[in-house]
Amino acid sequence: MAASSQIPQLGPATALVQLLTENPTLPALSWRISASEFSADTLHGSAPHTEDPRPVAAAWAAALGAEVSKKPFLYDGDVEYVEFAVVTVWRDVPVQIYTSCPVSLLTAKSAVAA
């Protein structure tokens, strides 16, 4: 049996090292590899909620050869947020990157740019 099948977290950990080594200038993310048997083979990345996450999501999507999806949601039941996701498979490892921010932050940035 291969080591990666004995240790489900080894594949995502190796992929993360390769990804960061090959793309050292990409924006920093928080990374997580779950111990759960259902998602131990997946590499999860996230970015802070306090900045415009669109450039971060776009940079990672470009590096991974993926697209960015966008989904609005309510936080605490009444604050409008938007989530930007990059979900793909990179070198046989599922990668999921999620970033989000309040819609008002994006609206304010658009008003300043105009």
The answer for residues whose C-beta is within 8 angstroms of residue 37's C-beta and 6 or more apart is 8
- Mark residue 104 as left, alpha or beta (left: phi above 0; alpha: psi -120 to 50; beta: remaining): alpha
Tens digit of each residue's pLDDT (9 = 90 or more) over 7-60: 888 999 999 999 999 999 999 999 999 888 777 889 999 987 667 899 999 999
pLDDT score at 2: 47
Residue with the bigger pLDDT between 106 and 2: it is 106
Q: What is the mean pLDDT of residues 65-88?
A: 93
Predicted TM-score (pTM) of the model is: 0.84
The pair phi, psi for residue 3, each rounded to 5°, is -60, -35
Contact between residue 12 and residue 90 where contact means Cβ atoms under 8 Å apart: no
CA 88 to chain centre: 10
The answer for residues whose C-beta is within 8 angstroms of residue 106's C-beta and 6 or more apart is 52, 54, 82
